[in-house]
Amino acid sequence: MYHRTDEPIYVTKNGYVDMVTMSMENYESQMKQVKMYEDIKDSEAQIQEGKVKDARKSLLSMRERYVL
Protein backbone atom coordinates (compact mmCIF):
# COMPACT_ATOMS: atom_id res chain seq x y z
CA MET A 1 0.00 0.00 0.00
CA TYR A 2 2.74 2.51 0.92
CA HIS A 3 4.71 1.87 -2.23
CA ARG A 4 1.83 2.80 -4.52
CA THR A 5 2.13 6.49 -3.71
CA ASP A 6 4.89 8.97 -3.06
CA GLU A 7 2.62 10.81 -0.67
CA PRO A 8 2.49 10.17 3.07
CA ILE A 9 -0.52 8.33 4.42
CA TYR A 10 -2.39 10.05 7.24
CA VAL A 11 -3.91 7.90 9.98
CA THR A 12 -6.75 9.53 11.81
CA LYS A 13 -8.22 8.97 15.24
CA ASN A 14 -11.64 10.38 16.05
CA GLY A 15 -11.49 12.44 12.87
CA TYR A 16 -8.12 14.05 13.61
CA VAL A 17 -4.72 13.19 12.12
CA ASP A 18 -2.92 11.07 14.69
CA MET A 19 0.02 9.64 12.73
CA VAL A 20 1.67 9.88 9.34
CA THR A 21 3.35 6.94 7.61
CA MET A 22 5.38 6.68 4.42
CA SER A 23 7.62 4.26 2.63
CA MET A 24 11.22 3.95 3.77
CA GLU A 25 12.42 5.23 0.39
CA ASN A 26 10.27 8.34 0.72
CA TYR A 27 11.42 8.87 4.32
CA GLU A 28 15.09 8.60 3.38
CA SER A 29 14.59 11.02 0.51
CA GLN A 30 12.90 13.51 2.84
CA MET A 31 15.71 13.21 5.39
CA LYS A 32 18.35 13.84 2.70
CA GLN A 33 16.47 16.96 1.66
CA VAL A 34 16.24 18.18 5.28
CA LYS A 35 20.00 17.61 5.71
CA MET A 36 20.72 19.55 2.52
CA TYR A 37 18.67 22.54 3.76
CA GLU A 38 20.44 22.41 7.13
CA ASP A 39 23.82 22.45 5.36
CA ILE A 40 22.74 25.44 3.25
CA LYS A 41 21.57 27.27 6.38
CA ASP A 42 24.92 26.57 8.10
CA SER A 43 26.82 27.76 5.02
CA GLU A 44 24.84 30.98 4.87
CA ALA A 45 25.56 31.61 8.57
CA GLN A 46 29.29 31.08 7.94
CA ILE A 47 29.17 33.58 5.08
CA GLN A 48 27.45 36.14 7.32
CA GLU A 49 30.15 35.58 9.98
CA GLY A 50 32.88 36.14 7.42
CA LYS A 51 34.13 32.55 7.64
CA VAL A 52 34.99 32.32 3.97
CA LYS A 53 38.06 31.55 1.88
CA ASP A 54 38.98 32.65 -1.61
CA ALA A 55 38.31 29.61 -3.82
CA ARG A 56 41.11 30.29 -6.30
CA LYS A 57 43.71 30.69 -3.57
CA SER A 58 42.51 27.57 -1.79
CA LEU A 59 42.60 25.47 -4.96
CA LEU A 60 46.05 26.77 -5.89
CA SER A 61 47.32 25.93 -2.40
CA MET A 62 45.89 22.43 -2.62
CA ARG A 63 47.47 21.86 -6.03
CA GLU A 64 50.86 23.00 -4.75
CA ARG A 65 50.67 20.65 -1.75
CA TYR A 66 49.40 17.55 -3.52
CA VAL A 67 50.99 17.58 -6.95
CA LEU A 68 53.57 14.82 -7.22
pLDDT tens across 16-26, in order?
A: 999 999 989 88
CB-CB contact of 46 with 52 (8 Å): yes
CB-CB contact of 41 with 34 (8 Å): no
pLDDT on residue 3: 65
pLDDT on residue 5: 72
Regions of the chain where pLDDT drops below 70? 1-3, 68
pTM, 2 dp: 0.62
Q: Which of 22, 1, 24 minimizes the C-alpha distance to 10?
A: 22
Amino acid at 44: E
pLDDT on residue 38: 96
Taking the C-alpha atoms of residue 39 and residue 41, their distance in angstroms, rounded to an integer, is: 5
pLDDT on residue 1: 56
Taking the C-alpha atoms of residue 65 and residue 67, their distance in angstroms, rounded to an integer, is: 6
